[in-house]
């Protein structure tokens, strides 16, 4: 290697090292130092020795958890940010580093989440090319679609606990106190290189044009904007909202990624039903009907419905067929015409009810059932015995 080339390579390596140090990421600086020690051990042994000494001197001072280290420190409750008066914690902690099942989401949304995780896992590699990983993302969607679970999953995948802002403790009627509480949370999250979730962010980041809000809340929005702009890439800032229309437009432009959640489609609903049934095979013949009955609902509602069915089957010794059909009929009352027809056709194709009974339960004409499902395999009005 020519001398000029060697100098340029060293300059590039130390520029990357400086970039990591500026991001205040102690653990990633140590990892990069270790890489340089191995790289220069043969070509420049004296430099490698000096770098190795620097590396060893950081081992006793390192306290921040790294996304690349398996054994992250345990959480000490007394060290979490607290409200000065009530002494209550300003954050809730979810520590799923031992493993968490992936959320049931559409493929494109899972791919977005995987992309964020990959960027965190490859931070050093990105830094070598002068690129920073995504530092922030906002999760948008109605209640019960998996936003908080997805935030926990992201944190678990990158080997960190999730800190969730506790609005009930943070928000105060005293002017200035809410802002102080927020600063405590932000400072703690940045110092610990944590994954921080601002749940229900619309409560503290409303449009500044909203005349109903006092000046304190408008100042909070400005403070949050500054935090998102200056968030270090050693941590990850997430926000979640059920009401995106309430959020100040300037905040949308600050987030590196927008993850949009929706109610479950047919594939996601079926996957959720199978997961919530677990090893309970009594309902297997009815999974198709359950899917049509619960499709379009939040997965939290799907889970609640499945657990209710299982409890009733055990405690009251009710046949799964009756439980599922009763559920389907109840849900059909809130369905539109197209969804109700889809449910009725699904019932007809399952072949466990006559067209007469399906028509009475759902209001869908027998001619429609014959058109889409063929002739009824059951004559009369009773259920086919299992």
Strand partners, 236: 195
Instruction: Annotate 309-341 with DSSP letters as a single string.
Output: HHHHHHHS---HHHHHHHHHHHHHTTS-HHHHH
Residues 313, 322: Cα–Cα separation, whole Å: 10
- The predicted model scores a pTM of 0.69
Q: Could you read off the pLDDT tens digit of each residue along the chain, which spans 386 residues?
A: 456 767 777 877 777 777 666 655 566 676 777 778 778 877 787 887 877 777 666 543 333 444 333 444 455 544 788 887 778 888 999 999 888 888 988 888 999 999 999 999 898 898 888 888 999 999 999 988 899 999 999 999 999 999 999 887 887 656 568 888 888 999 999 888 889 999 988 888 877 665 555 566 777 888 888 888 889 888 899 999 999 888 888 888 889 999 999 887 888 899 999 999 999 999 998 898 899 889 888 888 999 999 999 999 999 988 888 898 888 888 877 777 887 888 888 778 877 778 888 888 788 888 888 888 888 777 654 444 44
Instruction: Annotate 154-190 with DSSP letters as a single string.
Output: HHHHTT--EEEE-HHHH--SSTTHHHHHHHHHHHHHH
pLDDT digits (tens, 9 = 90+) for 179-226: 888 889 999 998 888 899 999 888 888 776 655 555 667 778 888 888
Quick one: tokens of 250?
């300037």
Residues 152, 360: Cα–Cα separation, whole Å: 45
Q: For the structural domain made of 77-260, what CATH number should be given?
A: 3.40.50.300
Instruction: Provide the residue count of the chain.
Output: 386
CB 13, CB 51: distance < 8 Å: no
CA distances from 381 to 320, 358, 361, 366, 368 (A): 19, 9, 12, 13, 18
Angle between helices 26-43 and 45-59 (to 10 degrees): 160
CB 151, CB 162: distance < 8 Å: yes
Spans of all domains in the chain: 3-59, 77-260, 266-373
Instruction: Annotate 7-53 with DSSP letters as a single string.
Output: HHHHHHHHHHHHHHHHTT-HHHHHHHHHHHHHHHHHH-HHHHHHHHH
Q: What pLDDT, on the 0 to 100 scale, is given for residue 55?
A: 66
Q: What pLDDT, on the 0 to 100 scale, is given for residue 75?
A: 54
């Amino acid at each position: 290697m020519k001398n000029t080339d060697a100098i340029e390579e060293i300059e590039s390596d130390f520029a990357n090292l400086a970039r990591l140090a500026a991001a205040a990421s102690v653990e990633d600086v140590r990892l990069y130092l270790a890489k340089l020690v191995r790289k220069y051990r043969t070509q420049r042994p004296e430099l490698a020795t000096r770098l190795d000494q620097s590396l060893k001197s950081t081992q006793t001072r390192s306290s921040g958890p790294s996304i690349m280290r398996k054994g992250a420190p345990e959480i000490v409750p007394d060290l979490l940010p607290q409200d000065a008066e009530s002494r209550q914690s300003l954050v809730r902690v979810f520590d799923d580093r031992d493993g968490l099942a992936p959320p049931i989401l559409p493929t494109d949304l899972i791919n977005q989440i995987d992309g964020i995780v990959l960027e965190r896992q490859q931070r050093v590699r990105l830094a070598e090319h002068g690129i920073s990983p995504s530092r922030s993302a906002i999760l948008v969607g109605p209640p019960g679609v998996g936003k908080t679970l997805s935030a926990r999953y992201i944190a678990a995948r990158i080997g960190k606990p999730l800190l969730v802002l506790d609005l009930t403790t943070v928000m105060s009627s005293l002017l200035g106190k809410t802002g102080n509480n927020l600063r405590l949370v932000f400072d703690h999250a940045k110092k610990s290189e944590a994954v921080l979730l601002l749940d229900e962010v619309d409560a503290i980041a409303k449009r500044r044009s909203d005349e109903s809000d006092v000046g304190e809340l408008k100042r909070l929005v400005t403070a949050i904007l500054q935090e998102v702009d200056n968030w270090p890439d050693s941590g990850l800032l997430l926000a979640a909202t059920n009401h995106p229309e309430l959020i100040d437009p300037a905040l949308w432009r600050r987030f590196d990624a927008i993850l949009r959640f929706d109610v479950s489609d047919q594939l996601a609903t079926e996957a959720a039903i199978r997961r919530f049934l677990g090893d309970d095979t009594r309902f297997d013949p009815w999974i198709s009907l359950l899917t049509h009955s619960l499709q379009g609902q939040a997965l939290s509602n799907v889970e609640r419905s499945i657990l209710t069915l299982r409890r009733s089957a055990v405690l009251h010794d009710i046949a799964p067929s009756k439980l599922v059909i009763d559920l389907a009929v109840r849900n059909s009352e809130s369905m539109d015409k197209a969804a109700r027809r889809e449910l009725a056709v699904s019932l007809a194709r399952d072949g466990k009810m006559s067209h007469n009974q399906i028509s009475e339960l759902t209001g869908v004409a027998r001619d429609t059932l014959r058109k889409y499902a063929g002739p009824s395999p059951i004559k009369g009005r009773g259920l086919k015995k299992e």
